[in-house]
Amino acid sequence: MKNYSSEIKELEELLVEKELLLKRERILADKANILFSNNKSMFEEYYPDIGKFISGYHPREDFCLHATADGAANFVPSGSSIPLYGDAPLEQAQEQVDYYTKNANYSRRNYFLGNEVKTKDERIHIQYIAKLYNSFLECSGLEVLKELPEHYPTCLVFGIGLGYHLPALLEKHTFDYLFICEPDEELFYASLFCIDWSKIVKDIDEQGGCLFLNIGIGYNEFFNSVSAISEDIGAFSFINSFCYQHYPSDEINKAIKEYFDNYYHLHHGYGFYNDAITGLSHAIHNIENNIPCFIPNREGVQSMKNVPIFVIGNGPSLDESLTILKNYQGKAIILAGGTALQTLEKAGIDCDFHILVERTKLTLDIQKAIKPESGYQQKNLLAVDVMYPDVYDLYNWGGMGMKGPEAASSFVRLQILKNFNVNVRPLPGAGPLVCNTALSYALSLGSKDIYLFGVDNGAVDVKQSHSKLSIYKDKNFSDKFKPLEGASIKLKGNLDSDVYATTFMSAAKRNMDILLSNLKDVNIYNVGEGAEIENAYPTREDELLLSNLPDLDKTKVIADIKKNFFKAIPKNDLEADLAFDTFDELCDHLISIGKREFNSRNEAHELMKAQQRVIYSYRKTKYEHLFHMLKGSLLYIHCPLVTLLYYYKDEKETLKVFRKAFDVWLDFLETVKVDFRLNFKTKCNWSRPEFLEEQCENNEVTTSA
């Protein structure tokens, strides 16, 4: 008789295993439903947008969480046949956390290269930046911190998965700022059944931290979100980050690559004290000189919607469009950015408005040095509130827009609100280069058809960075004016070839991308070779249908622009609104915070956070110009200081260096407190030959540290 005992035993074991699995599934289901309900309620209360997403999300028909032997869940993502985890997700997540925290991957800049900084620049900010970096010389020989400490400023988590790594990470580590990026909405939805998001949010809140969730957005949108948050709460929120990738995927890998490729954008462009007070001084002079300010209104914008605008940059692709521009210059308003004016003049093309943006005296000297044959007396100027006041005297007519974010623009905005009861926003995305300003004006005027010529933001051949008719190619100027060097950043081309850009060109292109990202019912044509601009139509010169455009009565249109969009601001009570006493109180308060005792890197960091929050509290108040007076220098000094605190392993030695470096910041505050009253109307005098030769480009001068 056949022996069935072994088969029966196998069947019994299978039944037991099946029963255990069913039991685990029931336990998981009960626990998961409770977690989901609690998480949904929490998100609806604290993150309404995410709560709305959860309520409206419809999972696929085969959406299913599978119980594992350790009581956790596993999941097969959409489009995959492989589960996200192995047989023990909790153990797997813990092992991953242990490895990543012991072998930490940091996104941070090395400010501590051990080289003495020398400068002849007498500006307060530059002098104190030199002192700050020289105080770092004592870091020489210190061992770099590798393992993640219990507390760290910022954490970037790429990928939620089912979220099991998050409680494991946050059980032993805390962060001031926690940013989580999950491109896959389904995975985030699945995590609501698996981890206690309510506890995570509650714990972070009780610790005084900030949680930012980026769900279902692509890699481009993630960096734009990071950049926007950085602008809102300060770059020190990102500048020193612990980076954690939970699982590999194409979207997450792209998000990480996008972040690190663009990380340099977070390190510059803050402005600084001398920029701020100079711009404020120029704005006061411009108000007193009755320079009318750009104040858009519905009627004016409506009148311009059918008026095409040509925005002209001086990039190499402009050469291919000069004949077209000459033939059709009567069909559009022409805005010439910086040195594009002289190129157009040589080609027999008249611009309707010259666009300038940079605040230094160098701007005046450049315009005088390269004056076209006809001069400027017949020209109109569209510039910004921080413009060197004497520049306006060169032109037949000049108007100023608010450049923002600037101390000057906040102050001008206050004056407009007081005198006209109108809340006007600064020109959007008006920097860093002059073509940004021109495009911003074109959009703000209300045109629905904007053509970009020579707005290249880079060059296919780095030796040919400008039009062949540019002053940079003119033998009379070639020894005097030189474009910025260092075009090493590769950008996607608008047509056939990629281009290479400097840092400023790349930033200019990115700002154009952001500016155009939410536009509706506006046609932007990016003509010729150059860098691609998102949401602009790549257009070849021979594809343009400009002959279909009607001729403009340009004299009338230009007169209407001046009349409908610009008003002079009354000059009453300007000094009173500068709030000198309030600035004194602000500086004194920051200094008193800085003199508090600290005995650990975390305590030192708490003092810095307290100062940061005080300064940022002045945003969106009538004293916002005081925020901008200090914000830039705060970032340029605090970002290295935050990095210093968590860069080296030896906490005691780190604090010794930090104390000396932090005192530089406190001394800076004492200095600017006195300087503000003395120099609030002092115009810029910066126009040295060495800066002229090294930093002239499209009329934009590098003034950031």
DSSP one-letter string for 36-65: HHHHHHHHHHH-HHHHHHHHH----TT---
pLDDT of residue 22: 55
Question: What is the model's pLDDT at position 23?
Answer: 54
Q: Compute, in degrees rounded to 10, the torsion defined by CA atoms 192, 188, 64, 163.
A: -70
User: Does residue 24 carry a pLDDT above 70?
Assistant: no
Distance of alpha carbon 338 from alpha carbon 657, whole angstroms: 45
* Cβ atoms of 314 and 454 closer than 8 Å: yes
For the chain, the straight-line distance linking the first and the last C-alpha, in angstroms and rounded, comes to 93
The 3 state secondary structure assigned to 393-450 is HHCCEEEEECCCCCHHHHHHHHHHHHHHCCCCCCCCCCCCCHHHHHHHHHHHHCCCEE
Compute how many other C-beta atoms are within 10 angstroms of the C-beta atom of residue 379: 20
Q: Is the pLDDT of residue 408 over 60?
A: yes
8 A C-beta contact, residue 354 and residue 378: no
Mean residue pLDDT of the chain comes to 88
Question: How far is 429 from 442, CA to CA, in rounded Å?
Answer: 12
Three-state SS annotation for 516-532: HCCCCCCEEEEECCCEC
Instruction: Read off the tokens for 588.
Output: 């004194």
In angstroms, rounded to a whole number, what is the distance separating the alpha carbons of residues 352 and 413?
A: 27
Strand ranges (E), 47-196 = 66-67, 73-74, 105-108, 151-158, 174-182
pLDDT at 165 over 80: yes
What's the angle, vertex CA 270, arms to CA 267 and CA 273, rounded to 5?
A: 135
Domains and CATH numbers, the chain: 89-124+145-267 (3.40.50), 275-567 (no CATH)
Return the minimum-mean-pLDDT range out of 87-101, 259-273, 318-332, 401-415: 259-273
Supply the pLDDT for residue 5. 66
Mean per-residue pLDDT for 640-657? 95
- Please list the residues that pair with 335 across neighbouring strands: 311, 353
Q: Are the beta carbons of 313 and 354 closer than 8 angstroms?
A: no
Residue 672: which pLDDT band, with cuts at 50, 70 and 90? very high
User: What is the model's pLDDT at position 465?
Assistant: 76
pLDDT digits (tens, 9 = 90+) for 230-260: 777 777 777 788 999 998 888 888 877 777 7
Q: Give residue-wise pLDDT tens across range 475-499.
A: 666 555 666 567 888 999 999 999 9
Q: For strands 66-67 and 73-74, give the pairing.
A: antiparallel
Structure tokens at 678: 């003395």
**Residue 700: what pLDDT?**
31
Short-list 346, 366, 354, CA closest to 480 = 366
> What is the percent of the chain with per-residue pLDDT over 90, rounded to a whole number?
69
* Pair 437, 430: CB distance under 8 Å: yes
148, 246 contact by CB (below 8 A): no
What's the pLDDT tens digit per position in 511-527? 999 999 888 899 999 99
Contacts of 510 (CB under 8 A, 6+ apart): 262, 265
What pLDDT, on a 0 to 100 scale, did the predictor assign at position 266? 67
Quickly state the pLDDT bin for 693 (edges 50, 70, 90). Answer: very low
Range in 243-247, 382-386, 593-597 with the lowest mean pLDDT: 243-247
Q: Would you state the structure tokens that stand for residue 47, as one six-digit string?
A: 């993150």
* pLDDT at residue 342 is higher than 70: yes
> Is the separation of the CB atoms in 371 and 379 below 8 Å?
no
As a whole number, mean pLDDT of residues 425-429 equals 95
Cα gap 278→142, rounded to integer Å: 40
| Residue 37: predicted pLDDT | 93
Mean pLDDT of 373-383: 87
Lowest pLDDT segment from 19-28, 199-208, 438-447, 563-572: 19-28
pLDDT of residue 233: 74
User: Can you tell me the mean pLDDT for 146-166?
Assistant: 94
pLDDT at 698: 33
pLDDT computed for residue 500 by the predictor:
93
Residue 289 predicted with pLDDT over 70: yes
What is the residue-wise DSSP string for 248-306?
--HHHHHHHHHHHHTGGGGGS----HHHHHHHHHHHHHHHHTTPPEE---HHHHHHHTT
Structure tokens at 664: 């530089």
Q: Work out the average pLDDT over 537-541.
A: 95
pLDDT of 164 > 90? The answer is yes
Taking the whole predicted model, whether its pTM rises above 0.85 is answered as yes
User: Which residues lie across from 247 on neighbouring strands?
Assistant: none
CB atoms within 10 A of CB 212: 16
- pLDDT bucket at 695, cuts 50 / 70 / 90: very low
